[in-house]
Chain A
């Protein structure tokens, strides 16, 4: 995002008086360019016209609510910080807004101090997101290659060490899309030896990262099978890393790792198992003597795409 684009902030409110007050406030901050929208449809049009650094939105609007707008915006622009405005002290709206990915929630009337505070918070969030893109890959590779659950203090479920916490943080930055809460973030189809046959991500993961992840998942899974399965009712192995989970389905020749936040229901688990079975049945002869040639397993992407479509649903 360029410096020019960083300055655009969109504010959506059907009440002219609120838009006017915001307009007055932003005259004090010439470094930001306020774009006003009078309803959600107007906002969606304007969101398509340029890049924005953040959005303010009223909740209580006719035709389409601010919560519905938030949901649509988060699908299209998951990284966009959104701050909701409302005169309601309705806790349910707050919960729903946060579930849909709102960064914050301001009670009306918004003041110069609260609006400015929200902008500063969004700037911090954006800077944090940008800094995540500059992870030192050499450090990351070292950490993954030297992954040792025992040395990291992972001798029982839920235990942590500083090194493990750091690894979790780095994995989270690589694998978890911050705007996708309660959703599927990545799918990895792996050979038993840890080669990534295919992967599908809600967030772009560089090819080099994918290779590292393959080794990482295999190491985690091998260890987990011995010691720390966190699942009690699932037929699939599930391990929690910080705020996210990796669920594994094991086949005769391959593994399917699903990285997600929130909860996966039984239907989703069944879909994961079915996908792995379908992939292995289709490629049985190839997998029996697979030489690492990816071209021979070119239908794997299709299986992951179908699975992603089936299970990446809002579980609210």
Chain B
């Protein structure tokens, strides 16, 4: 993000990846029981925050997760969460 030096930016990205990885793990553990609105909120949040940390892929997946939650498509959400997990692992 403009205004941060490389060291700050790297620290921010690392914290974001760690935080999102933990959140994702909690969701995936309970994916069949978690209420759909919580999944929508998760998608909505990473849609907004991904870009803040330079991860447009996260924003894109967040947009799809939010839309799938609105359509109550839990199967599609599972696939998207897996894609997000794979992406986050490449950044860890």
Contact = CB atoms under 8 A, between A and B. Distances in A.
B44 A24 contact: no
Contacts of B16: 17, 20
Contacts of B2: 111-113
Contact of B49 (A18, A24, A28, A113): A18
Contacts of A16: 19, 23
A28 B48 CA distance: 22
A148 interface: no
A15 B3 contact: no
Contacts of A62: 37, 41
Contacts, number: 58
B52 A21 contact: yes
A105 to B, nearest CB: 15
B3 A17 contact: no
B28 interface: no
Interface range on chain B (Cβ under 8 Å from partner): 20 to 34
Interface residues of A, number: 19
Given A17-B20, A17-B52, A113 B3 contact: yes
A21 B44 CA distance: 17
Interface string A90-109: 00000000000000000011
Contact of A87 (B3, B4, B44): B44
6 contacts: A15-B49, A24-B4, A87-B44, A110-B52, A112-B1, A112-B3
A21 B3 contact: no
A17 B49 contact: yes
Contacts of A24: 4, 8, 11-12
A72 B43 CA distance: 28
B48 A87 contact: yes
A108 B8 CA distance: 20
Contact of B48 (A108, A111, A112): A108
Contact of A20 (B19, B41, B44, B51): B19
